[in-house]
Amino acid sequence: MTGVRGPRTVSLVPSLTEAVEVTAPGLLVGVTDWCTHPADLGAAVRVGGTKNPDVRAVIALRPDLVVANEEENRAQDLDALRAAGLRVLVTEVRDLPGALRELEALFTDALGLARPGWLADAGAAWERVVPQRARSAFVPVWRRPWMVLGRDTFAGDLLARLGVRNVYAGHAERYPRVPAGELRAAGCDLVVLPDEPYPFAAGDGPEAFPGLPAALVSGRHLTWYGPSLTEAPTVLAEALRAALRP
């Protein structure tokens, strides 16, 4: 699909950047430095990070729409964009059904486009999921200090659909700081280590939890809501199976 007509759009969220560019190439006039998918974003201008966008640069692009997320972007930056007269759409995602609803609203209401085929495919892919045997886990998203998934997170909902119970899902905070010693003593079946926002890897993360199976998973498939949702059930399930193989 090329040359799609629609509102000039700035995306301050990497997953929404991918969703818009895959669906309607050419609409994006500005994206963040962290927007990596798809690899070719055409002439879109880089406008800084998700937490520190160059507000003046966004305004200078004169977009018809700025898409953001209440968790990834700071309220003061979004307020400044609104004060400049820009239309700002802020997504709020806590689980898979919410993500699918927000994406449909983005395309059909805000962008005035047809519901993309990949969105229906994503919903169908997750409906076909057969959860693996229930396992308990904690899911770090940062270290120094250690921070884990807590309550009401999109990633936690995806893992639950795959049979992984986040032991901190009932925590009062969404991303609590938990010392490594407490994590080691939690008695979990495995630790799930995504490669973003902290770039956990084979040599950076698993060694902190000796003897505990570690599932190294794609952060894009665990935390992004967009076209990656179509393949996420398969990609994540295989990473979990690999960690639990004898």
Question: For position 6, what pLDDT does the model report?
Answer: 79
| 100 within some domain | no
Same domain, 139 and 221: yes
CATH number of 40's domain? 3.40.50.1980
Do 235 and 141 sit in the same domain of this protein?
Answer: yes
Is the sign of the CA dihedral 236, 240, 243, 246 positive or negative? negative
Q: Contact 89/79 with Cβ under 8 angstroms?
A: no
User: Do residues 152 and 230 both lie within one domain?
Assistant: yes
How many structural domains are present in the chain? 2
Q: For the whole model, what pTM was predicted?
A: 0.93
CB 183 within 8 A of CB 151: no
Structure tokens at 161: 């659909």
Asked if residue 80 and residue 158 are part of one domain, the reply reads no
Strand partners for 136: 165
Cα separation, 46 vs 142, in Å, equals: 25
Q: What does 54-92 look like in DSSP terms, one character per residue?
A: -HHHHHHT--SEEEEETTTS-HHHHHHHHHTT--EEEE-
Strands 140-142 and 147-148: antiparallel
- Which helix (H) or strand (E) segment holds residue 182: the answer is helix 180-184
Angle made by CA atoms 199, 201, 202, in degrees to the nearest 5: 170
Using a pLDDT cut of 70, give the percent of the chain over it: 98
Band (227; pLDDT cuts 50, 70, 90): very high
Q: Are residues 87 and 133 in the same domain?
A: no
pLDDT, average across residues 221-246: 95
pLDDT band for 19, please (50, 70, 90 cuts).
Answer: very high
Range of the domain at 195: 128-244
In a domain, 117, yes or no: no
Q: What strands lie across the sheet with 88-91, from one edge to the other?
A: 45-46, 28-31, 9-11, 65-69, 88-91
Percent of the chain whose pLDDT exceeds 90: 93
Find all residues with CB under 8 Å of 90, minimum gap 6, and list them.
Answer: 68, 69, 70, 73, 78
